[in-house]
């Protein structure tokens, strides 16, 4: 039996519009499973259906067909929602309120008992302790985002669904948010992250799904997705003969002293290394070359078969 | 649900409309309190001075002399309060449903109908508080100045709140179909004016030639609560006069049925809607 699932979606379809306007297919048979306690990142181009999927996941929108389970239950169940923390992409906050008043309101709606001290601690966790008594209307975009994150953390949720959590936050702030998310993972929470910042997703998530045109194109562990398969990165000790290495099948890499080598099998790789060593080169490092997430996304989206027109006549 | 209502009230207290209303009611009460002088001799109002200026009128029993005053207070609370409420509350439902806010609320452990009914209750409490503050203030003011204590204007204030609740239910429901403060306010005024026409239906109907027009008008006004009849009852109760309307309970029942009906429609739409 596999690990218990935090998120389970099967055959999700969603179409918007109708009646008089064109129909827009947002999801086309989406399947996805996220185990409890893992950090999962959903990436994809604009209009891929990421936000629609999150809305269906939380019962904010309903699927046309298919099934979705959240923490083993119905997404619309009050008991399930009590265990979920959510940060929407564009959180609307009450301008005239102070952050503690807003957080207290969220806590009341969540049915979580809290105290002014606990709320201040929460604000300190997201780095807002010095601005806690200012009105939210005077907050910058990044500060609002931090406050939204604090609201999502109320009640120590089992599942955190974060839609662009670091949007508008400065680089140092992003580091703080990343630390905070890793803390949440450390205590056993499941993290579902939707972010345009691929570096952010790479640093936090263990598994990634690539969504495009309403379908999951690729999905798996980050290291598996980023492996190039037949490409290796090899470093030699100073004093190598670059021409001899080129003849042995090693092409200069991006960094000084690093070379790239293409080998279909380990035997071929070792044959190439032997040729290099015979030419006097000393091997100091061999690693499978990894693509970054940007390249993986680009490959997946370009390689996807055309899904046909996504707009239908009403 | 009560938490939703409490949040709405908290939000309202930060709005200029409601701060303005509270200040205006207080200013009227304080001004009258300081400038109005009423001399009562043996239960009769002998003289009234406003800003030191003597108001000439027949010497009458205090309760009789104050009838027009209480009627005026009831009219201001009933009709003025409804108009003010329509304008000031038109934005509540569209704000609740605004992108970024509704998604956040729907992801919380609150049922959709609770959000809607909570918003309705919040507005109901606000309108009740404003009506009771205005009417209660006048009761205390005139009670202190004349020794006549009556609960009747308070009943008129409650009827005004009942009337506004049916109007606001329609405003709330329509926001689920078109998220716009203008549309919500427009529907509020439509119900308000149609309700006034419905209360005067028997007077207006003979103005139509018998036929389709008259039938359409009769059918249209049958949908709405009879607001002007309820207003007339509120004024009569405030002035301790016999009711002109035949049955106050049937009027209240009409308001209740209309309000519950449109609110149910709103809840049905909310339950179906994707955000």
What is the full DSSP assignment across A153-211?
HTT--SEEEEESTTTT--HHHHHHHHHHHHHHHHTT-EEEEE-S-HHHHHHH-SEEEEE
At residue A156, the pLDDT reads 93
Higher pLDDT, B246 or A79: A79
CA distance B129 to chain A (A): 22
The whole-angstrom separation of Cα B94 and Cα A251 is 62
CA distance B100 to chain A (A): 4
Find the closest chain A residue to B107 by CA distance: A58
Q: Which of A101, A110, A151 sits opposite B109 (nearest CB)?
A: A110
Chain A positions in Cβ-Cβ contact with residue B274 (cut-off 8 Å): 16, 55, 60-62
Pair A235, A261: CB distance under 8 Å: no
Residue A304's pLDDT band (boundaries 50, 70, 90)? low
pLDDT tens, A191-238? 999 987 787 888 889 899 989 888 888 888 877 777 777 888 899 988
A58-62, A296-300, B181-185 — which is least confidently predicted? A296-300
Mean per-residue pLDDT for A62-70? Answer: 93
Residue B75's pLDDT band (boundaries 50, 70, 90)? very high
Pair A149, A157: CB distance under 8 Å: no
At residue A314, the pLDDT reads 38
The whole-angstrom separation of Cα B182 and Cα B91 is 8
Query: Would the CB atoms of B10 and A105 count as touching at under 8 Å?
Result: yes
Strands A84-87 and A159-163: parallel
Chain A positions in Cβ-Cβ contact with residue B106 (cut-off 8 Å): 58-60
Q: Which of A16, A61, A109 sits opposite B108 (nearest CB)?
A: A109
DSSP H stretches of helix in B36-151: 62-65, 67-75, 81-89, 92-96, 102-106, 112-146
The whole-angstrom separation of Cα A248 and Cα A272 is 6
Mean per-residue pLDDT for A128-148? Answer: 91
B111 touches chain A (CB under 8 A): yes
Higher pLDDT, A253 or B158: B158
The whole-angstrom separation of Cα A17 and Cα A24 is 6
B101 touches chain A (CB under 8 A): yes
pLDDT tens, A144-155? 999 999 999 999
The whole-angstrom separation of Cα B113 and Cα A70 is 21
Q: Which of A91, A96, A111 sits opposite B104 (nearest CB)?
A: A91
The whole-angstrom separation of Cα B263 and Cα A168 is 39
The whole-angstrom separation of Cα A99 and Cα A153 is 14
Mean per-residue pLDDT for A238-254? Answer: 87
The whole-angstrom separation of Cα A80 and Cα A161 is 13
- As a whole-number percent, the residues of chain A with pLDDT over 70 amount to 95
Higher pLDDT, A70 or A3: A70
Pair B24, B17: CB distance under 8 Å: no
The whole-angstrom separation of Cα B224 and Cα B80 is 19
Residue A309's pLDDT band (boundaries 50, 70, 90)? very low
Q: What is the pTM of this model?
A: 0.82
Residue B45's pLDDT band (boundaries 50, 70, 90)? confident
| ipTM higher than the 0.85 cut | no
- Of A90, A235, A72, nearest to A245 by C-alpha is A235
Give the H/E segment covering residue A267: helix A266-278
Residue A305's pLDDT band (boundaries 50, 70, 90)? low
Chain B positions in Cβ-Cβ contact with residue A149 (cut-off 8 Å): none
- As a whole-number percent, the residues of chain A with pLDDT over 90 amount to 49
The whole-angstrom separation of Cα A11 and Cα A27 is 9
- As a whole-number percent, the residues of chain B with pLDDT over 70 amount to 100
Query: Residue B99: left (phi > 0), alpha (psi -120 to 50), or beta?
Result: beta
Reduce the DSSP state of residue A113 to 3 states and report it: coil
At residue A152, the pLDDT reads 96
Higher pLDDT, B166 or B15: B166
- As a whole-number percent, the residues of chain B with pLDDT over 90 amount to 63
Mean per-residue pLDDT for B164-187? Answer: 96
The whole-angstrom separation of Cα A36 and Cα A55 is 19
A292 has pLDDT over 90: no
A313 has pLDDT over 60: no
Q: Which of A55, A108, A110 sits opposite B275 (nearest CB)?
A: A55
Mean per-residue pLDDT for B97-103? Answer: 92
Mean per-residue pLDDT for B39-64? Answer: 82
């Amino acid at each position: 039996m596999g690990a218990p699932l935090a998120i389970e979606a099967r055959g999700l379809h969603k179409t918007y519009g109708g009646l008089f306007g064109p129909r827009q297919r947002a999801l086309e048979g989406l399947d996805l499973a996220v185990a409890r306690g893992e950090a999962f990142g959903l990436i994809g181009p604009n209009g891929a259906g990421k936000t629609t999927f999150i809305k269906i996941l939380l019962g904010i929108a309903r699927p046309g067909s298919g099934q979705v389970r959240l923490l083993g239950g119905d997404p619309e169940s009050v008991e399930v929602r009590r265990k979920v923390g959510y940060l929407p992409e564009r959180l609307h906050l009450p301008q005239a309120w102070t952050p503690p008043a807003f957080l207290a309101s969220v806590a009341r709606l969540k049915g979580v008992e809290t105290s002014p001290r606990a709320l201040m601690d929460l604000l300190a966790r997201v780095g807002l302790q010095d601005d806690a008594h200012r009105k939210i209307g005077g907050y910058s975009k990044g500060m609002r985002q931090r406050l939204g994150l604090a609201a999502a953390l109320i009640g120590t949720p089992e599942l955190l669904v974060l839609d662009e959590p670091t949007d508008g936050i400065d680089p140092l702030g992003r580091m703080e948010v990343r630390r905070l998310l890793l803390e949440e993972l450390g205590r056993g929470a499941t993290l579902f992250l939707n972010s345009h910042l691929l570096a952010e997703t790479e640093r936090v998530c263990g598994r990634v799904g690539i969504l495009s045109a309403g379908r999951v194109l690729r999905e798996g562990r980050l290291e598996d997705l980023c492996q190039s398969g037949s490409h290796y990165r090899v470093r030699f000790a100073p004093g190598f003969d670059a021409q001899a290495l080129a003849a042995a099948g090693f092409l200069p890499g991006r960094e000084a002293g690093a070379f790239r080598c293409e080998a279909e099998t380990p035997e071929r790789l070792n044959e190439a290394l032997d040729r290099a060593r015979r030419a006097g080169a000393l091997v100091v490092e061999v690693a499978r070359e990894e693509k970054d997430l940007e390249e993986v996304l680009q490959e997946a989206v370009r390689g996807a078969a055309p899904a046909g027109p996504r707009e239908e006549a009403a | 649900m009560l938490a939703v209502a409490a949040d709405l009230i908290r939000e309202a207290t930060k709005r200029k409309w409601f701060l303005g209303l509270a200040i205006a009611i207080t200013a009227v009460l304080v001004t009258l309190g300081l400038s109005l002088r009423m001399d009562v001799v043996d239960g009769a109002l002998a003289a009234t001075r406003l800003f030191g200026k003597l108001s000439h009128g027949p010497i009458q029993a205090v309760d009789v002399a104050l009838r027009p005053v209480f009627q005026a207070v009831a009219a201001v609370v009933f009709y003025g309060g409804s108009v003010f409420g329509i304008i000031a509350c038109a934005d509540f439902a569209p704000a609740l449903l605004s992108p970024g806010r509704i998604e956040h609320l729907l992801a919380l452990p609150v049922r959709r109908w609770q959000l809607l009914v909570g918003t309705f209750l919040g507005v109901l409490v606000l309108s009740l508080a404003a009506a009771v503050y205005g009417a209660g203030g006048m009761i205390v003011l005139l009670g202190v100045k004349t020794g006549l204590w009556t609960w009747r204007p308070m009943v008129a204030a409650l009827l005004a709140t009942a009337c506004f609740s049916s109007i606001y239910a329609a405003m709330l429901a329509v926001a689920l179909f078109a998220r716009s403060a203008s549309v919500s306010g427009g529907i509020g005024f439509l119900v308000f004016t149609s309700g006034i026409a419905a209360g005067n239906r028997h007077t207006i109907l003979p103005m139509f030639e018998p036929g389709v027009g008259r039938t359409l008008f009769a059918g249209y006004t049958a949908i709405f609560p009879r607001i002007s009849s309820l207003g007339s009852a509120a004024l009569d109760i405030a002035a301790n006069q016999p009711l002109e309307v035949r049955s106050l309970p049937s009027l209240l029942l009409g308001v209740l049925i209309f309000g519950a009906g449109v609110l149910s429609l709103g809840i049905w739409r909310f339950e179906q809607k994707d955000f």
